Structure formats: structure tokens, C-alpha cells
Structure 1
Amino acid sequence: MNLLVFIVLGIAVGMLIPLIPVYTAVLNRFTGGLSNSAPIIFGIGLVLTIGLKVLLTREFIWPAQVVKAPWYSFMGGSILAIYLLLTPLLLPRLGVGLTISLIVFGQLLMAVLIDHVGLFGNDSFPLNWPRAGGLLLIAIGVWLLKK
């Protein structure tokens, strides 16, 4: 596939992320709160991902394969739960733009750390002045959104 297709897909996926806390906040009003909304949201995600996996690949994941994975490879669900629980608390206080810009800045900080150290079996991409400058520019953008 053309690189442009992947760039557009990346932007499209990024545009979906701010919708998660917005939709969750709306659902919270109808369910009595996040403790009721979160299981519904995760249940829908579980059914959808399993359904798509089976439909698209006609394959199943076997427990014997899964138990060989390192413990930290299972943390994605926990991290998503934290994201889902905290972002609806931030939205009414910070607004969608500042909330998501802070989240993106946090993601970039972690990504640069993972790259720099080569965490979790990833190749190392040491922090250099251009990368540090990029982080600084993002931080300035977040600060400007706060104004």
C-alpha cells in the first residue's frame, strides 16, 4: 500500500480517540455513571473484536499460545480502562481540546522514552535535539490551547 494511505489511516484513527470520552460522558448520563458505562463499552468492544477476528481470519486464538506472552503484553486493557475512567472526569474541567492535547503530549513523552531506552523489545532510537525540539513544540501547543 502507498505510504499516504497509512498516513491518512493514522490520522483517521487519531480523530476517533477524542470521541471515546465524549461518547462515554453521554452514556454515563443514561446509565448512572461510569461504573455502569464501562462494562457496557468494554463488552461491546469485546464482542466486536472477537466477531471481526473470526469473520476476517476464520482463526481462533488458543490459550496455549497466549500464556507464552510476557505479562506486560496484557496491560493494554488495563491502560484502556484507566483512560476510559479518567478522561470523562477531565472533559468538563478542561474541555475536549485541552484534555486530548494533554493526552497526546503524554503519549509522545512515553513514546520517546520507549524509543530512547528500547523498552519492551523495541529498537532504540536515542533522544536527540530534533526530537526534544519536537516535544518542546508540542508542549508549547498544549500551553497555547490552555490560554
Structure 2
Amino acid sequence: MTSRAKPSKKETSGGNEDFEVLDVRDMGKEAESLLQSLRKYVSEGSHSKQLAIGGVSGWVTGYMAMKIGKTVATAVGGSLILLQIANHKGYININWSKVNKDLEGATKKLAQQGSDPSIPKMLDKVQHFVVENGYFSCGFSGGFLIGLAS
């Protein structure tokens, strides 16, 4: 299971700089096999092991979501405030008729395309995993909520 990427090659650019080129084509397949083996490990484990792994992974996910969410919310909110101030001071001028026209076009395009057929398949897989691994799912949910609160 510990397959490595192909050895790196040393190359030189036009100057005196040396750099390494890594071949990472198989990393996606390796990550997928790692997730499948982890899923198998959790599924075959005892209930207490499933609760513990689910709780810890949920806490880490919730904590990271809280930290990243705060950062993203601050960045987006700050940007919107700065744009509104710039608009109010006259630094920028927004063509609202063009914005509305583009939004109408996007709405029509979404209505024509309908929903993506891959989303129901993915939701069915998630539902099957949650039902099959109930203890892990409960542990993950509880850990996620604790991670959000901490």
C-alpha cells in the first residue's frame, strides 16, 4: 500500500537554478485506495472503535470548518464592504442593467440544463454509507458539532 511517486529528475533551467520534477499522476489513485482501505477498516471495526474514529474525525472536520469558515466570511464580508464604500465614493460605477441581464441569462441557462445526474448517485452512496456505518456516522456528527463549538 505504500507506493511512491516515480523518482524525481533533476533538471536545469536556462539560468543556474536546479529544480526537481515529480511525477504525481498516480497520487489520485493512491488516495482513492487509501480512502477505500480506511472505509473497510472502519466498517469492520467494533462499535466503540467506530464511535471513537467518527468522533475524532468529526471534531477535526468541525474545528477546521469553523476556522476556515470564519476566515472566508471575514474576507467575503470585508470585500463587499470595501466595494460598497468604493461605489459610494465614486471610485467604481456598477452597471446594474448589465448585472440584471447577466443574472437573467444565468437563470435561464440553469433552468434549461436541469439538475446534474451525478448528484443523486452521490447522495445515494452517502446515504448507503451512513446507514451501513451508523455508529461512525453518529460519532462523526457529534464530533462535528463539538468541533464547531470549540
Which structure has more relative contact order (CA 8 Å, sep 6+)? It is 2
* Higher fraction of helix: 1
TM-score (norm 2): 0.27
* Higher fraction of strand: 2
Greater CA radius of gyration, 1 or 2? 2
TM-score (norm 1): 0.27
